[in-house]
Amino acid sequence: MDKLRNLFESYTGQKVSDTEELNSSGSNRRYFRLKGGNISIIGVIGTSHEENNAFISLSAHFLSKGIKVPKVLAVSEDGMRYIQEDLGDDQLYKVVSQGRESGEYSSYECRLLCRAMEMLPKLQFKGAEGLDWSVCYPESAFNERMILFDLNYFKYCFLKATGLEFNEVKLQDDFERLKTDLMQDMGDTFMYRDFQARNVMMKDGEPYFIDFQGGRRGPIYYDVASFVWQARSRYPENLRKEMVQTYLRALKGYTEVNEEHFNERLRLFVLFRTLQVLGAYGFRGYFEKKPHFLASVPYALGNLRRLLQKPFDDYPYLNEILTKLTTMSQFNNIAEDKRLEVKVFSFAYKKGIPVDTTGNGGGYVFDCRAINNPGKYEHYRQFTGLDKEVIKFLEDDGGVTKFLNNVYDLVDNHVKCFIERKFTHLQVCFGCTGGQHRSVYCAEHLAQHLADRFDIKITVTHRELDIEKIL
């Protein structure tokens, strides 16, 4: 951590005043937001020199091609740490959360998703121009070994774990045929490999690509399949078609397109990507015992079920096993969302502590009255903890940061335990004198902190302001 701070201070000439660890989404890499003065920068601590070098090299190359990615600002001497441009907190996956939760995407959400797809061909084609493929990690190109690794990942980490009986020799025969077919359209294009809404940041209304360090030379279809058929996103069929058509229109600016051929090849890669995703869900869920990954399985199987409406005749035994898989009773229906729901309140003590309407009781009540009160000053009385004037006052004072860091430690551990024990509700309340400044600030920041770290449902209620929202 000291080396990250040194990089920040050497690059900016400012002392680090605040450090916040960000959600790493299952990666072993650690991300931090470092602040000093009016500067905010993202610090990264990696576990692999080669992986770090891949990101640093690819970022510089993509920027030279006019592709929107974060700029790497400084790298430690050992290459294990670096600092990069802070793109903010507007992850595309979160920005479209309303559509994801309801299954009905607004026109605004559709436009953002389509904009990301519109920019993808530039990354694939311009990003590949003059690229030194040797910097890619862990492989420089999509290849047969990678394909068989992902197919066997599905077989051993998911299929076997379901208890479904199958003939391993027959299945492997079809895997070999599928492998050969997938290798037909390589091309000299960049394959992002993990192109999804979680890896797109929105800044000034434009998508920026992140977490591309696992990319390599490969077919264009894989990225389209990864984004459009992202399991948990629940994109309706008409939106999927719109995203694919948006991509195709942009693609025609870089290469000739036979749409019928494209859609045939895309369908094959959707199958492959879905199997790879199920393997990942199985490993994380069955073997690492992380239940929220298993909760995503029905969504991936729903994609697979729709895909199998037109049989894959070239792989008859695989088609047979996958059909049986999608009809297993344990996967018949997408289950009710049973993720932990955390309700976060701000309130005024003089009006009483919020009642837990779930009937569970318990939870946390944090007293914010020890924090310096902006409400004492005439200038701030018209504002709330949602306004930049109050936010600056509290953060400049510093007391609220220390207070919340302690809160984060307590609540994070509680949330982890509740997820593991499959509890469904937790309430956290912040009280102050008027329920307008300090408690509002703390409730907002805890809610965002939890949203960044955990796959849970979060409701924020500012009782005295009559504001309720879902993150």
Residues 6+ apart with CB under 8 A from 443: 344, 345, 346, 385, 428, 430, 460, 461, 462
How far, in Å, CA of 466 to CA of 471, rounded? Answer: 17
Instruction: Tell me the pTM.
Output: 0.71
Which H helix or E strand runs over 12? helix 2-12
Q: Give the pLDDT confidence score for residue 332 in this predicted structure.
A: 59
Based on its alpha-carbon atoms, the radius of gyration of the chain, rounded to whole angstroms, reads 24
Report how far residue 428's alpha carbon sits from residue 98's, in angstroms, rounded to the nearest whole number.
Answer: 23
In angstroms, how far is the first alpha carbon of the chain from the final one?
30
Is the pLDDT assigned to residue 330 strictly greater than 90?
no
Report percent pLDDT > 90 for the chain. 77
- φ and ψ of 451, to 5 deg: -60, -35
pLDDT for residue 335: 47
pLDDT tens readout for residues 121-173: 999 999 999 999 999 999 999 999 999 999 999 999 999 999 999 999 999 99
The two structure tokens encoding residue 170: 């027959």
CA 65 to chain centre: 25
pLDDT tens digit sequence for 410-433:
999 999 898 888 888 999 999 999
Distance CA 295, CA 244 (A): 27
Average pLDDT of the chain is 92
Calpha distance 279→300 (Å, rounded)? 11
Buried residues in 207-235 as b, exposed as e (16+ CB within 10 A)? bbbbbbbbbbbbbbbbbbbbbbbbbbbbb
Helices (H) and strands (E) in the chain, counts: 17, 14
Given the DSSP bridges, would you call strands 39-45 and 81-85 parallel, antiparallel or unpaired? antiparallel
Is residue 220 scored above 60 in pLDDT? Answer: yes
**Percent of the chain that is helix, strand, coil (3-state, to 5):** 50, 15, 30
Residues of the chain with CATH 3.30.200.20: 2-85
Angle between helices 399-420 and 438-453 (to 10 degrees): 40
Domain 2-85 has CATH 3.30.200.20: yes
Q: Which residue has the higher pLDDT, 416 or 111?
A: 111
